[in-house]
Amino acid sequence: MNSNNNRRRRLKARRFFVDDFSIFCLNRVRQDNLAWVSNIENGKGDENMMVLGIDPGSAITGYGLIRETGSKLEAVNYGCIRTSPSQPVELRLKKVYNELMFLFNQYKPDYCAVEELFFNKNVRTALTVGQARGVIMLAAAQTGLPVHEYTPLQVKQAVVGYGRAEKTQIQFMVKTLLGLPEVPKPDDVADALAVAICHAHSYKSASLIGGRQ
């Protein structure tokens, strides 16, 4: 009997947490929209901006292209570039480069945003991710786009408003902000969209104080 009561209490607490977080997300969207509408009305900021966010990786590189029109954020295209571990490293990097160049040339984004490489205890993983980042920066440079880098902490703060947010919270916020029917999969895709949103929000903040990123 006690175990059933405890289980009910845990479920109730979890339901309240989800409800509270959903309300927080909706309020965050509403506040961002009001701030950006005010910014546009005062003649600040771009009314139409395209950002390509990229989550680097050798096996999976996530990408997310978003458009911001006035107060509206929408996903234009998103997905991932997969490479086979059975291929030589140079061929895997070549595939990442070629597919990114296709995206740059087809959609012509205004900005490119990439998640910074954070410290990883696995040196081999850090090296392969670093190689992918280098290819991403080269592809952006080839098309004349500067690369804007953001730490995971900055992305969480910009998207959720909390630097220690869980991955599921970030994914929920990405889905909510972009009006998607479901959370993009794999996780690398949602991460890339989060980086793009982070840059859009950072650009808004810079616009409000009269700066540019």
**Closest to 73 measured CA to CA, from 54, 56, 53:** 53
- The rounded distance, in Å, linking the Cα atoms of 165 and 155 is 10
Distance CA 147, CA 52 (A): 10
Give the residues across from 87 on adjacent strands.
none
Is 55 part of the annotated catalytic residue set? yes
Most distant CA atoms of the chain, gap in Å: 67
19 in active site? no
Choosing from 32, 55, 68, 99, which is the catalytic residue? Answer: 55
Active-site residue identified among 68, 99, 115, 191: 115
State yes or no: cis peptide before 186, omega within 30 of 0: yes
Active-site residue (options: 32, 68, 99, 188)? 188
What are the backbone angles phi and psi of residue 62, rounded to the nearest 5°? -85, 145
Whether residue 75 contacts residue 66, with contact meaning beta carbons closer than 8 Å, is answered with yes
Is 115 a known active-site residue? yes
Could you give the residue numbers annotated as active site? 55, 115, 188
